[in-house]
Structure 1
Amino acid sequence: MSFDEHQVNFQSLIEKATDIVVILDSCGIFRYVSPSTEGILGYTSAETVGQPVENFVHPVDLPAVQGTIAAALAQPGVSQRLSDYRVRHGDGSWRFFDAVTTNLLDDSAVRGIVVNCHDITERRLADRVLIERARLSKLEAEVGAALASGGSLSEVLQRCTQTIAGALQVPFVRVWTYNREARLLELRASAGQHSLVAEFPTYIPIGASLVGAIAQSRQPYLTNCTATDPNFEARDWLDSEQVVAFAGYPLIVDDQLVGVMALFGRRPMVSAEHGALGWIASVLAMAIDRAWAREALMSRREALLFRLAGQIRQSLDVEVVLQAAVQEIRSLLHVDRCLFLNYCPRPVNKDVTFLEQSYWEVAAESAQGGLPSFVGKQLHGLAAGVAPLLLQWEIVCTDEVVRPAAITVQEFLAQLSAGAALILPVQGSRTTFLGAVACVEHRGDRIWSESEVGLLRGVCDQLAIALDQAALYTDAQDKARQARDQADRLAQALDELQSTQMQLFQSEKMSSLGQMVAGIAHEINNPIAVVHGNLKYARQYLAELLRVIDTYRSTYPEAHEAIDQLLRDIDLTFVRQDFTKLLEAMGLAAERIRQIVLSLRNFARLDRAGMKPTNLHECLDETLTLLRHRLEPNGRFGGIQLEIDRGELPLVTCHGGQMAQVLMNLIGNAIDAMESIDRPAILKISTRLLSNGPQSIAEIAIRDSGYGISDDIRPHLFNPFFTTKPVGRGTGLGLSITYQIVVENHGGTIDWTSDPEWGTEFVIRLPVLLPLPPSCRT
């Protein structure tokens, strides 16, 4: 092959090569670069040819490259290998290469040092990723070991921060936990450099500073440019510590913030490190949440025992205490069902043993939604095998029992369609065996922890105390109830006796008053009848005398001087006019006296009339006649305006005298309520007929404009002997007797409404046709 052909073949070979092929002179100056250089390093031939190698090789790796060239010059034809050196890319980044350098200066076709460069950048990055992954995996494993090593929450977090600081070689790692009540982040662990206190204090409000902002946004904050980041103000500290990177992560579990983790780094952090730190943040959040859950469990256990003790002291109600206990236990232990079982021995069959006849009854239950209720259910499979164990204060647990009783437990579980159970006895100190608490799982087996057994022991002790005290309390209550019942019966009998005596006295007084009124009315009626009857003749005689005087004056117009003087002295014209008025006034007064006497006689007759059809309007008129003087102005009292709205009322079957007494009491009370008010006194009385199916109802409403009935008086309104009037003005029986007459004697109703703005209204409703009870017939 000729020289030219050899040279052409060599050049064709290197131009087709995928690796970079360069030819250097003995001084390390590029004489030739293959076309692949532009694709791999971004340089054209014009940018490289004539340039020394030191313009492209990393300063750290340049001595090794120069040494390789020197070795090639010393050994022509012998290939020199160099691995893992860096060459600057056209974009300023560094690429890694392996190279084979051969001195072909003596080759007439080449006359240079040939360097075959293979790009290993991707392989190096892959190796670095694997190394980094191994390092971060080790970090994750060490953090997991720190979390599993136990201790308090602060101790666990402190070990984790120290592990992170050591593995990542960072100067600053801190973990804050979130106090929900105070809305503050509280520092719980730190490692590395602690001099940066002002910007990252022990307590940080939500939203304050960068850490508070991370908690508020619940998003990580990552940067590799702390020097130019406006969120960092401690420039001197960043410079002195050569800090360039920051990573902050919110600690979140089930969308609930539990804390924040933050750290600084002296070198930029890569995505793999961010991924590992994100995982660590997640496991720290779960560790904090679990620690809080354990603390809450212990707190709830103490709270449960405290609440049970409080309920025992307060209510001593067994049902309340048992129900509260099973509900709290099920919620605290997260079981499907919690039962309280009563032990019921039944020795009735001599051929069957005592325990075989006994059974357990579910007295209280708390079950998960959707499960059937077992309250009242009798369980027979538990008695014979398990009762002796519980009577000896032993615990029955499905994952521990290996004695013959285990078969009976399985029968018990089968009755409840359960997979696991924990049963503890409840036995009082003053009573026989009382019962047991059973925690039941329906979804499969369960291993019961010592803390769960300890919790149930404490609850059962409290329940035993509750049942003992309840038994004593029940006995005391029974005795107290018997004493109260006897005292109540005696008090009721005494009240009834006093009421009957007073009513008899009132009835006798009313009867005597009726007789007296009838007698007085008769005595007054005779003389007033004379006055009333003679007024007619007095008017007639006056008219005749005046006619005689007029005749004299017309016949003798010129009277004697003595007669004229007498007429002037007596003022005959005035006497003539005024005497007529006097007779009219005397007539009205006599008629008023006659009407009052008539009302008194009617009132006396009504009291003896018994049940019969009665005109209630006449009863109302008679009552108003007797009370009319109380409606008129008197001194400072301006009087009461009477407004009556009479509806159409048929005759009502009732006791007229008693109804008159009812009207007298209610109208009298209304007048009393308006005697000292500073607004217009108006008494409104209305009557109307109501329809109530086949029965008609007569209604009488009496309304005053007083200040109403105060709240403290309302409950006692119809109580016998209760009065707000001064001594001597009221007996306290008016409304009590009114209620008895209307409701008990006549089968009616009496309702009332009161308001300080407009006054008080009493409404009486009576059936028009009342079936007469024997006690009311006369």
Structure 2
Amino acid sequence: MNSYYPSNWSESPQEKSELKHPPLNNYTREHWESKAVQSSQETRSEFELLLTVFDTLPCIGFILNSAGVILSVSQFGAEYLGYDAFELNQKLVSKVFHTEDRARCQAKLAKLQQQTQISQWSARLVSKDDRVVWVRTRIRLVPQTQSNPIIFLVCEEIISPQQKQEAHRETKHKIAEEALQQQLMKERLVGKTLGRIHQSLNLEEILKTTVAEVQQFLGCDRVIIFRIHPDGSGVVVVESVGSQWRAMSGTLINDRHFAEVYIRLYKQGRVHAVEDIYAAGLSQCHVDLLAQFQARANLVVPIVHKEQLWGLLVAQQCGETRKWQSSEIDLLKSLATQSAIAIQRSELYQQAQTELSQRQQAEDALRKQFQRERLGAAIAQRIRKSLNLDTILNATVAEVRQALQTDRVIIFRFEPDWSGNVVVESVGSIWPAILGTNIYDPCFEQKYILPYQQGRVKSIEDIHTANLSQCHFDLLARFQVRANLVVPILNKERLWGLLVAHHCCDGRQWQQFEIDLLTSLASQVAIAIQQSQLYEQAKAQAKREQALNQVTQSIRRSLDLETIFSTATHEIEKLLQVDCAQIVQYLPERKLWVTVAECCKGLDLAVGVGLEIPDENNEIANRLKRLEVVRIDDTDSFKGKINRGAAQNFPGAWLLVPLHFNSSVWGALGLMMDVGPYHWQDSEVELICEVADQLAIALQQAELYNQSCLATATALTQAQQLEKALQELQRTQAQLVQSEKMSSLGQLVAGVAHEINNPVSFIYGNLIHAGGYAKDLLSLIQLYQKQYPIPTPEIQSEIEALDLDFLIEDLPKLLDSMKSGAERICEIVSSLRNFSRIAEAERKAVDIHEGLDSTLVILRNRLKAHGDSPGIHVIKEYGNLPKVECYAGQLNQVFMNLFSNAIDAIDEQNQSRTPEQIQAKPSTIRVCTELLNDHQVAIRIVDNGPGMTEQVKARLFDPFFTTKPVGTGTGLGLSISYQIVVERHGGQLLCFSELGQGTEFVIQIPSI
């Protein structure tokens, strides 16, 4: 019996405390059950029932969470054990039990997860003052919520010695039984782990399962496997830990003291068991290391593999100290051995996998070699079957991208200046397309062109680590390239372009078979290019022959020299792909060579036509006159001032073939290439000579045709001249009549204005004096009335007879009216005199607005409403105009014609409109003037009449054209107006009109 107690424990504290604390007896259970039944009858929840009676029972009661942590202690229990009410809260309940009974308590709590109630068992509690109390313990799981159950633990004290002995024997028997059961469980755990090792080759899965089962079996807070690296550092590779403790999986530990002191010992198989890290005499750095894991007790077993320390199997108790049992140490040692076996099996499996992978890589290499050969053969077959270079190149990049499983494959073609274009491309959908991109990089030309011409292949695994020049890096980064493989395409030992594979998503190590594949395909592409060029040359030859036939047929179809020359130069330019083709005529009387026809590439206009080259001291001209063909491969070799001058206009290479007519030179057919030196081929010279022969025949035929047409043309010209002279005579005659009429009208208007002006001036002058006299008389009358307010009867009678008050009021008004009328007559006279300037033939500076106003005054009668005519409203929008140098009378005639036409058009429109329509849209003529710039003014006359059609507008200024009925118009008004504005004043007369939208005439004349 005494072996179950610590040596420093005794019975005396219990005997003394029995006087203070009443014993726990069967009343506790009966009271609990009766209270529960009573509460159950009140239909309350189980948790609420137990909570209600918890503090009313005279027993030691605990409320725990699912992890065995104390949430609450009954008041009686806390006092009985000597603790304050909240002192035990948040501590493990096993800590209250005797050390030898804690494992049973933890096992009971773990078993409670499978069943809600555990039968009672005997155990020992230890009070705060180390008093031991034998109790019978029962526990019950109460679901408070689905995920947070509550455990009620109740202890009843065993009072009699007989009961204590019985409990002692029972406890000893239970301990032995549980030890046997634990041994069976340990053997089962080891066997299960061994079976798992034989069933699985997944080392991580085996180790994870092992630490989880070890933690559950030991009931500790954490179990880990710590992998040790060769340098002594290590990492937590697997872990099983309670939810309330910090997870340390993946933690890297590099402790030099640990490596220097413990690695050697663990390598020898030492097991390190620590009950309390703070009382075990560990170094401070070791304590700090374990504190990172929140460990209080620590058990470490080494895992030795092939006589090397592979790692450590570690069990830790975090919440409290723990004495590790020998059975627990043996279990971890056994599991460490099994883990070493699992590690060895995993390594053997990895080795087998590596060998299998190497075999698969060899098979992949053979398969890729076969694919490369098959791809090369397919492309070679396609080259033999097709002459379409674009089709071949596009299929090549698509198949290469698929074979290499890369992001982009392109073919880049160089230009003569070493710039270039991406001519074909195959690219993944997530990467930007660069087809057609033009690239010119000077540093690329300086550094890479020569190696590529020598056949060098360049592979870049990662542009960020390849030590590239900045410009090269920027070029590749621009296209989102991460790795690339470049193979040159050489055509006749000349660098034609590059076959390039781009890997964009990440870096890539290019394999040798991939480099060999692209090198082989680049050779096949070069063959395709050469074959395509030969095919294109054959096509060009056939095209030349066809073009020669076409030129010949074109020359024979026409007898017009201009058409023949134009056709010949265009066809020759297209035929030989020259930069310029010209026909030059020799003029012996002027000793000049003159360009008569030209066709230059890229130019729509023949800018060289009319160019003259002197004949004297010109060696090239002398050779042409001797009917020699002149070949010049480079105009820089010219000698002589004249030849160099011509070469400046057309630098490069020339081919000149003489054109003969009647055994003498007529001119020459010239071809130019603006890139020199250029060597003219014999086939080109022969073709041009044949074209020159056809042109010589055309010259003879055209000469005969021109002679036959000359007589007809002469007769036709004479007839046309007579017809034109007749029309001019008729127009001049009509203009003379119109001018005479306007001159007579001007003289008449000037005479009338003069005759009217004399009496009106007399009247207007006397009206001023009459007004003053009347004012004086009226003032005298008012003075009389003031001095003699009561007149005599005779005077009063006369005042009434004269209606003196009315006379005094009306006389000033009468005089003002007469003055206004006289001023109006003066205004009309001024307008007439202004309009009469039509007879003036000299140019002078005048006010345009005066001319407009004078014309409107003369036409006022037509503008006013009378009879059925509603009248026309004139809107003046005058700008700020300076005086304009012009023929004032002629310009007034233009104003008269335009205003008259607008009035006629509006009157004609109003005849077909109802009064309502006229009221809704009144007739208006708007007159606007503005200064367009410092040297030009504009006068706009706009009406809202019926407008006119495009056909009428096209003939508006033709002489004798009119839309008015016969007898109402001569058709010369607008024609004469046009001549006055355009010919006499150097201006413009414009008309804008749409049918139904009115008409606008714009007069633009220089202001100076």
| Larger of the two Rg values belongs to structure | 2
Is TM more than 0.5 here?
A: no
TM-score, reference length from structure 2: 0.34
